[in-house]
Homo-oligomer: A and B are copies of this chain.
Amino acid sequence: MMISAPPDLIFHTLTQNTDSKARAGMLYLPHGPVSTPVFMPVGTNGTVKAIDRDSLEDIGFDIILSNTYHLYLRPGKDVLEKAGGLHRWSRWRKNILTDSGGFQVFSLAPFRKLSEDGVEFRSHIDGSYHMLTPEKVVEIQTIIGSDIQMQLDVCTGWGTEYREAEKALEVTGRWLKRAMDTWMTKKEHYEGQLFGIVQGNFYKDLRVRSLEKLLQIDPPGIAIGGLSVGEPFDVYTEFLSTTADMLPNNKPRYVMGIGTPEYILEAIGAGIDMFDCVFPTRIARNGMVFTREGTLTLKKERNEFDFGPIDAQCSCKVCREYSRSYLRHLYKSGEILSSMLATYHNLFFLKELVIDARNAIIGNHFMEFKKSFLSNYSGKS
């Protein structure tokens, strides 16, 4: 059975750059439209760390990410089901994308066993045994109420051998078919979308083969998996670009694990619409913030008497109110407010960067914008 959602329903390219492959579009999702390109903050446990719902809405995020693996283990699907899904439980009013848990099983679980059926693993929380299958992962994400769910996939790291990478993409392809079949049975009571994932590691022929299999099954959206897994930046850009070039124009394109300005601009320039990463919120909790000149380490002594803002060009509430001197003090004193303010600023900064990039795409000068931004954004201070 060939299954296909009408692609224009969920994505429309508003314009296309002539000086790059960058795209500006809109995603039409159950909890409202999302303009693309879009950076999605990560809320692993059903909340983005160190920031509340109202602040995320203030900044203007229309979609966040959450982790199926974590939510499945805690609180578990019974709580989520009785709560009426993650939106009602966490009070998030906009869209939620959930990953499939595949990546977490391979990176967090202390034990895992892969079979054609699925993946068995032990919880990193309490050591209990669990089994995830493509069908079960769709079931869980449907209970969560994800606006975009991801298929269960097998992700391989930088340095994986050809045979193993090949096996992983073959399994991923068969799992997409099973995920789509399950997802179709949900459509009467559930409006969320399902994305397939292109694997193939760093072998171009395997990337091609993975995409061919995916397009036969034709999911509403496509994620490029297996990037940002330890490879050098130039290998990343090469595989991002060659994989993106092969994708059909009429589906949203998502790359997982992209969260620095350099990677984001590279991804946008390659024609990617969606990306997420824990990076901006994690470095915030470690006292590191974005500026237009590069990242700033708050605890450095040079900030002690610096009564200027993190970034004089930033219009966020943190930069309007607080000095580097005070923020340094909060960080050094171990105050939670340090994480709260740095997280707010970093997410605002990326949101602004992506809005500016989108406007540049619409104005057909994205490459100029990218070059100009990166020429300032260099060192660390």
The interface size of chain A toward B, counting residues with CB under 8 Å, comes to: 37
Cβ-based interface call for A332 (8 A): yes
Cβ-based interface call for A182 (8 A): no
Check A79–B304 contact: CB distance below 8 A.
yes
Cβ-based interface call for A307 (8 A): yes
> How many copies of this chain sit in the oligomeric assembly?
2
Question: Which B residues are in CB contact (< 8 Å) with A322?
Answer: 91
Cβ-based interface call for A252 (8 A): no
CA–CA, A52 and B344, complex, Å:
12
Question: Which B residues are in CB contact (< 8 Å) with A74?
Answer: 329, 332-333
Question: Which B residues are in CB contact (< 8 Å) with A45?
Answer: 329-330, 333, 335
Question: Which B residues are in CB contact (< 8 Å) with A90?
Answer: 326
B52, B89, B307, B329: the one within 8 Å of A325 (CB): B89
CA–CA, A98 and B5, complex, Å:
64
B50, B51, B78, B329: the one within 8 Å of A46 (CB): B329
CA–CA, A373 and B70, complex, Å:
41
CA–CA, A307 and B81, complex, Å:
12
Cβ-based interface call for A3 (8 A): no
Question: Which B residues are in CB contact (< 8 Å) with A305?
Answer: 78-79, 82
Check A330–B91 contact: CB distance below 8 A.
no
**Shortest distance between the CB of A67 and any CB in chain B (Å):** 11
CA–CA, A89 and B70, complex, Å:
39
A residues 33-72 near B (Cβ < 8 Å) are: 45-47, 49-53, 70
CA–CA, A56 and B336, complex, Å:
15
Cβ-based interface call for A75 (8 A): yes
Question: Which B residues are in CB contact (< 8 Å) with A91?
Answer: 321-322, 326
Check A50–B336 contact: CB distance below 8 A.
yes
Cβ-based interface call for A340 (8 A): yes
Check B325–A83 contact: CB distance below 8 A.
yes
**Shortest distance between the CB of A63 and any CB in chain B (Å):** 19
Cβ-based interface call for A323 (8 A): yes
CA–CA, A285 and B45, complex, Å:
18
- Binary per-residue interface labels of chain A (305-323) against chain B in the complex, 1 for a CB within 8 Å, 0 otherwise: 1010000000000000111
CA–CA, A73 and B33, complex, Å:
51
**Shortest distance between the CB of A161 and any CB in chain B (Å):** 37
Closest B residue to A86 by CB, please name it: B326
- Using A45-B335, A91-B322 as known contacts, list a sample of 7 further A-B pairs with CB atoms less than 8 Å apart, ordered by residue number in A: A46-B326, A50-B337, A50-B340, A74-B333, A83-B325, A91-B321, A340-B340
Top 6 nearest A-B pairs by Cβ distance? A45-B333, A50-B336, A47-B337, A75-B329, A91-B321, A89-B326
Q: Which residues of A contact B (CB under 8 A)?
A: 45-47, 49-53, 70, 74-75, 78-79, 82-83, 89-91, 285, 304-305, 307, 321-323, 325-326, 329-330, 332-333, 335-337, 339-341
Q: List 5 A-B contacts (CB under 8 A).
A: A50-B340, A74-B333, A79-B305, A83-B307, A83-B323
